[in-house]
Amino acid sequence: MTADLRAAFQAREPVCGSWISLADPAVAEATASLDYDFLLIDTEHAPHSVETVTDLVRGVDAAPGDTAPFVRAAWNDPVRIKRLLDVGVSGIMVPMLESHADAEAFVSATRYPPEGERGIAASRAAQYGLDFEEYVARANDELVTIGQIETRAGLDAVEEIATVSGLDALFIGPADLSGALSVFGEWESDELHEAMESVLSTAHAHDVPVGTLASTNDQIDNWLSLGFDYLIAGIDVSHMLAGSVAAKERFDNAMAER
């Protein structure tokens, strides 16, 4: 499945994920049961440890279907990346790539030697040693690597980032990028759309897919109309709150009409 998903990214086929910020494996398992292509477990802003990520990945793996567990590292740090990969994720994202060197370092941290510098261990990813040699042999070809563009420096370096071999996709962080452009939260602003379109056209010229986060259902249509190749469609805690808000409003309105 992982190799097929990586091929889907590289071919710019439609891919849809969901965002996991809550620490309960039941949330990951239930969401994975909805036939998303992948779930992204966030460790940059959500309070997840490696142990929490491991339990969430187990939740995804326990669900029926082929949903793949991805993770966002807190930073482009080879030690953090190594520990997250050893958990057994199928893809990894890092925030705030700003140069060709940043992207090369990221890819190197995800690859076993001689292609990179990832340390080798009989971890969960290798079934605790039961699949050791086989996993090491295939991991470099299966892992999906995604780099985020979300700063002015990142915008300026998109072309050189997109040329880095082994980087499968780019991802625009809309909140950080809108903040960097001084239009935070103005999702329809010309400045934000022009920046997004610049990333899209530059990356597509190098056959690199680009995705972003749709935090509302309306944004799904808006971002797809701009030309994004894949989306993370919604966040677990936002879905929970939306359902709770709707139920409370329904109750309040019904009581007011009695």
Which residues are part of the catalytic machinery? 45
Burial of residue 218 (number of CB atoms within 10 Å: 0-12, 13-18, 19+):
exposed
Backbone torsions φ then ψ of 87, nearest 5 degrees: -65, -30
Report d(CA 164, CA 109) in Å as an integer: 13
Q: Which residue, 123, 141, 46, is CA-closest to 87?
A: 123
Report d(CA 244, CA 248) in Å as an integer: 6
The full 3-state SS of 36-58, as one line of letters, equals CCEEEEECCCCCCCHHHHHHHHH
Strand, coil or helix: 211: strand
